[in-house]
Amino acid sequence: MSTPSYVAVNGLRTRVRVAGDADNPPVLLLHGIGRSLEDWAPQYRRLGGTHRVIAVDLPGFGFSARPHESMTLAVLARGVADLLDTLGERRPIHVIGNSLGGAVALQLLAFRPERVASLVLVNSAAFGSQVSALLRLLALPRLGRLATRRTTRAAARLTERAIFTDRSLATRERIDHALAIARQPDRGIVMHETARALATGRGVRPEWRAELMAEVAAHPRPTLIVWGDRDRILPAHHLAAAGRLIPHAETFLFAGIGHMPQIECPDEFAELVLNFLATATTRGPHPTPAAADLDALAQTAET
């Protein structure tokens, strides 16, 4: 399964790409809101030499079918866990998530901690309230529905350019791909429901972030958190908050890079991740915080 294909997960069509030796340690790649597994394309070869690499179009996104339930982090995390079962991958897995995919990775750890060996969070949601104006617009009850009804080529171009510092990466092929995703059935509903579940017109909701971080703190795993210092979607100062909320995590800031370092600086990204993964499973367990510490983490996440 070295090119994308489809599997049935609980009766729903799910698009997935699996590559690398099945005996190698497994890595799961999770993309952001409105995106697809193509956001990891530069990493397939780089990670696949030493790992079994599983990339998925999250339920309702890319070319995967929309879940029967309304879109939430819990629905997305359950869909990911069920996909791994469908593929027969039951080992603890290294989960790498970008943007929304980072929040899904955290939710998977909270939901099924035995499935997660380590985390790599890439410009991840869950660490602050600030988010781009477009995502705040999508969360509005009426305007959000209107904004997701039709995506123009100009809007797709603006979105692609906002992701990268190097605007030459907003290629015609990427814009065409974004339009193809936007024109899938139910994609407007999926985008609006997801945005409404996670944000308001003022920013990312604090309630789910506080609850999620308290749950994650109860299941510490080796964690690497990276960011691009010129991210226009989720600002780079969220990295400092992430370091406070997951104090045992390693952190790294890419200079001159936007929302997707896995594409914009693929070699540096892969080297950093592979070095982390090489030692992630050999480290001793991090102590589980006391109840008072969990309360403090939850309060920190609310700010």
Where along the chain do its domains lie? 5-131+206-302
User: Based on the number of CB atoms within 10 Å of its own CB, is 96 exposed (0-12), middle (13-18) or buried (19 or more)?
Assistant: buried
Q: What value does the mean pLDDT take over residues 109-129?
A: 96
Rounded to whole angstroms, the Cα distance separating 303 from 127 reads: 9
pLDDT for res 146: 55
Report the phi/psi class of residue 240: left, alpha or beta, with left for phi > 0 and alpha for psi in -120 to 50. alpha
Length of the chain equals 303
Q: Sorting pLDDT into bands at 50, 70 and 90, what band is 47?
A: very high
The listed CATH number (3.40.50.980, 3.20.19.10, 3.30.1550.10, 3.40.50.1820) that belongs to domain 5-131+206-302: 3.40.50.1820
Residue pair 204/131 in contact (Cβ under 8 Å)? The answer is yes
Q: Sorting pLDDT into bands at 50, 70 and 90, what band is 294?
A: very low
pLDDT for res 203: 85
pLDDT for res 287: 56
